Structure 1
Amino acid sequence: MRLHDLTALPGVDLRLRVPGPPERLNRPIAWCAPTEHMDPSPFLSVNALVLTSGMGLNVRDYRIWDAYVERLVDVPVAGLVFSTGSAHRELPEGLLRACEHHGLPLFELPPDIPFVLVMRQVEQSLAAERYDELRRGWDLADECTRLATEGRSLHSVLAKVAETIRARVAVLDESGFELVYAGTAPAASARSTLRLPSGGARSFRLQVQGVGSDVLLQPLLGPVGAVLAVQLSYTLGSRSPMHSREAARFMDALYEERPAPTAVLERLAAETGFDPAAPWGALLLHRIGGIDRFTLRALAWRARVRLEDSFETVRFLEEPDLTTLLVQSPLGEAPLLDVARSLFPNTDELSIVVAESGEMDELPLSLKVARRQIGPPGVLSAPAVDLTAIVQGLPSAGLTAMARKLLAPLGPNDSNGALLPTFRSYLRHAGSTRAVCEELYIHRNTLSYRLRRIEQALGLDLTDGEALATCALALRLLEEPTHH
């Protein structure tokens, strides 16, 4: 019930004498507070409707009336109802002036209308409103429960809440970090926060922006808070499929130096809830700046919650400084790279790498390629393949022996051990004379001399692209510990 509803109460005949600012008449009434104290503020609470006949204020000094109204405004009360007849035949001039000065709405009650009638009418209206809010709250909770049992994401359930109360709602963790939000509200609008029930060590809150008073929010959002808490716990908790032992086993197997056979990976993927035959997407989050591991975890939580809104299946693996998220079955047309950029518009302290694989056979190598791209801040897409991935995909003892034989002449023919490091630098810098000389701290003439010796020892023409690629592959094979 709002202040402006008082003039419409049947059989009461309340007259608005001082309206105050326009927004004050829209203030909610929490309860009725009849009082004759000169200073009733210790007995009042926010949005009380004060009813008085002014028996303790039979004074003419304006300063006393001004101090009285100032104390009411400081509470702040919703408004003041003044009954004329018993102590004052008409509204005191000092009271009118004070209410106008402080912007406190003032209503005049005729002498033949008792306070109890006003209180009864107001309490009946408040009771009806509270019942309606509770009913709406349970209806909303039932609808959100239905969405959750259908497997809808936390963001989808939150969007239903935002749509119902026409506000912006967000779930915050214990540090105030916003995990997921839905709806819109003006930037300068009021915020109210409700604690979500939680039986674990973590605590979460529901922040509502765009609804001015939490008096109505508690009965409306109290029931749905339990639904959100359960779904949040399921999404982020250790028993969620996203964070299950099966998911950890599968992703650990993908990161092994020697990946398990494809049949084993397919079985682990199916146990985790993936479709082994469907395309894959991966998102790697790595902290590189001053953020601590708790902030990284909060960012990863938010990514997991939001990714559920874009992909049917989301699983993750947490390491001390890195979180890997695997996704399948997109629910929209947006590519994973675009989804990642929308999730992380500000990435100064994060390195985020996106990778995609068409089939299970390439997924382990694709993840390792993505892992090697971690470093620069921002969101970037991993290349389809790099040289290390090609080498890792060729586990052949015979090929390693052939590579050792190809490069063997650089050993006996090199008295000071400089030819092999020079050749390695030359291949790494794609034949850039300046880059090689800067790395090795040698003169251009020295480099030319060494390259001639390398050509003679290997019997190769270093201007031949195929020969250079063969040597680069041979060097990488010998450097890979898995092929020693």
Structure 2
Amino acid sequence: MRISDLVKDPDLNIRLRVTGGEGLLDRPITWCAPTEHMDPTPFLSVNALVLTNGMGLNVRDYRIWDAYVERLISIPVAGLVFGLGAAHRELPAGLIQACEAHGLPLLELPPDVPFLLVMRHVDLVIASERHAEMRAGWELADECTRLAADGHSLAGVLERVAHAVKARVAVVDHNSFELLSAGAAGAETARSTLRLPSGDSHRFQLIIEGINSSVVLQPILGPVAAVIAMQLSYTLGSRSPLHSREAARFIEALYEGAGAPSAPLRRYAVETGFEPDGEWGAVLIGGAEQEAPAKLRAVAWRARVGLQDSYGTVRFMEESGLTTLLVQQPAGSVELIDAVQRFFTDAPELSVVVSESGSLSELSLALQLARRQVGRPGVRRAPVADLAGIVRGLPSQGLLGMSHRLLAPLAADSSGALRDTLDAYLRHSGSSREICNELFIHRNTLSYRLRKIEELLHIDLSDGEVRATCLLALSIVGAGS
């Protein structure tokens, strides 16, 4: 119900005297407020239609009329209906002047039309409109419920909602990061917000761009907000993957690869939407076992959506407690780690490792290296290389055979104690205290085992090159097993 609807109704015979500002005749009327108070503002609410005979305002001083209209505009009300009759035979000039000055729509009601007729008409129209809005809202909620039940994604549900309200609709988290959107706002810049009924730990809102009235939107989107909240909760808490099959196949192949980009790996990259010969970036997001899966998923989703603003291609794969993001085609000179930092300011407990690679062959090894770094909280850059990565990049079967032969004499000890001792000795750079603490042995036992190892392998562990060779051999055998 709008002011323009009242003017167009021939039965009411209402005359429009002041149009107000641009578009004010289309302001919705929420209810009728008959009043004779000089200051009715304590009894009014936004978009009320004020009806008065001006009994308490039979004055000629323009300043009184100006103050009266200024108080109505402060609410603001939808308009003012002034009834002619015993108190005023015609509209006061001061009232007309004040309404024109403040941009308040002013309507003149003839003496033979009672306020009751206007109020009854407005109430009937508003009730009919609210019934239609509520019906449309529940029908939309019912349709979206069926879409969700049939397996449609949250994006599909938002598309239907955006189409229904003819505006842009977006879901944002409590830090105003946009997780998902649909539709277009067009030329409108108005923005409204509806809170989604979600838990305190994961507060989400529905942003509507193109409509500036949550009062109008509530009957239509109120019911469907619950559907969106439920689907959002399921999406972020479900064990079912959000990633595409192509992205999962490609990233799994990268984790299993040894460095050389095979023909299938290049094909997987193309099918996933990447340029095989381009440069790459990777972001690994992990959480501790006690970390809420919904929060991990929500923050990872936020990072994925946010990175799409800076990178042409973003793909991801979910695992239990770990999400891997791959990006390509960087925009500008911003480093990936700088672009990533802002998405995790409210989640310092998560472990985020950022890695960059110049080629597909390097990407596989770099991705595996980054995965080994996940665990410590905070955002950090992965090392360029580590021993395990270098070893995995040596696909020589001959080298594997040589390493097995070098360590074979240690198999004489069926308990594996000698091999464990050599491994601990090399990892702890010969520190007796750390080796003994790890293996729970006495220093004398350690000395005995080290002499035995030197005798069996015919080596001198005091030689740095020999120690490096043994460390590589152990790594190669471990990688090949």
* TM-score normalised by structure 2 residue count: 0.62
Instruction: Tell me which residue corresponds to 2:160.
Output: 160
Within 1, Cα distance between the matches of 2:139 and 2:45?
30
Residue 354 to residue 304, structure 1, CA distance change in 2 (3 Å) = farther
- Residue 222 in structure 1 maps to residue 222 in structure 2: yes
**Residue deviations 1:54-98 (CA, integer Å, cap 9, x gap):** 011011110000000000001111110000112100000000000
Give the counterpart letter for 1:400 in structure 2: S
Is 1:241 the counterpart of 2:240? The answer is yes
Give the secondary structure class of the aligned counterpart of 1:21: coil
**8 A Cα contact 1:177 1:298, kept in partner:** no
In 2: Cα distance, 1:56 partner to 1:393 partner:
100
Instruction: Give 1:103's aligned residue.
Output: 103
* Residue 342 of structure 2 corresponds to residue 349 of structure 1: no
The SS at the match of 2:23 is: helix
Tell me which amino acid in the other structure corresponds to 1:398: G
What is the rounded CA distance, in whole Å, between the counterparts of 1:138 and 1:475 in structure 2? Answer: 71
Letter in 2 for 1:285: V
2:188–2:209 contact (8 Å) kept in structure 1? no
Structure 1 contact 167–185 (Cα < 8 Å) conserved: yes
State the Cα deviation string for residues 127-184 of structure 1 (Å, max 9, x = none): 1111111121122112212221222221121111112111111111122222111122
Question: CA offsets per residue over residues 339-369 of structure 1, 9 Å max, x none?
Answer: x98xx99863324669999xxxxx9978516
1: CA distance between counterparts of 2:22 and 2:16?
Answer: 13
Listed as ranges, the matches of 1:19-418 within 5 Å are 19-185=19-185, 189-199=189-199, 201-237=201-237, 239-242=238-241, 284-286=282-284, 298-302=298-302, 315-318=318-321, 323-324=323-324, 337=328, 348-350=338-340, 351=354, 367-368=367-368, 371=371, 387-391=390-394, 398-401=401-404
Partner of 1:480: 475
**Runs of 5+ in structure 2 lacking a partner?**
243-251, 259-270, 275-280, 286-291, 308-312, 341-353, 382-388, 409-467
Conservation of the 8 A alpha-carbon contact between 1:18 and 1:104: yes
Q: Structure 2 vs 1, CA of residues 64 and 346 (structure 1 numbering), >3 Å: closer, same or farther?
A: farther
For the structure 1 residues 69 and 396, does the alpha-carbon distance in structure 2 shift closer, same or farther, using more than 3 Å as the test? same
Task: Give how far 1:482 is off.
Answer: 5.8
Shift of 1:113: 0.3
CA contact (8 A) 1:17 1:106 kept: yes
Q: Supply the distance in 2 between the matched residues of 1:168 and 1:235 (Cα, whole angstroms).
A: 21
Preserved CA contact (<8 Å) 1:477 1:483: no
Instruction: State how far apart, in whole Å, the 1-side matches of 2:153 and 2:357 are.
Output: 22
The answer as to whether partners of 1:280 and 1:356 remain within 8 angstroms in 2 is no
1-side partners of 2:76 and 2:336: how far apart? 41
**Alpha carbons 1:281, 1:356 under 8 Å: kept:** no
The letter of the residue matching 2:241 is M
CA separation of 1:325/1:230 partners in 2, compared to 1, >3 Å: closer, same or farther? Answer: farther
Distance 1:369 1:392 in 2: 17
Number of matched pairs: 363
Unaligned runs of 5+ in 1: 244-252, 260-278, 288-292, 327-335, 358-362, 379-385, 406-472
CA distance in 2, matches of 1:107, 1:98: 13
Change (3 A) 1:395 1:349: farther
Query: Cα gap change, 1:230/1:401 in structure 2, threshold over 3 Å: closer, same or farther?
Result: same
Q: Tell me the distance in 1 between the aligned counterparts of 2:184 and 2:227.
A: 22
**Which residue identity lines up with residue 480 of structure 1 in the other structure?**
S
Question: Which residue is 1:439 aligned to?
Answer: none
In the alignment, the residues of structure 2 paired with residue 313 and residue 67 of structure 1 have an alpha-carbon distance, to the nearest angstrom, of 62
Q: Deviations over 1:431-480 (max 9, x none)?
A: xxxxxxxxxxxxxxxxxxxxxxxxxxxxxxxxxxxxxxxxxx98994473
State the partner residue of 2:12: 12
Change (3 A) 1:101 1:399: same
Note the C-alpha offset of 1:15. Answer: 0.7
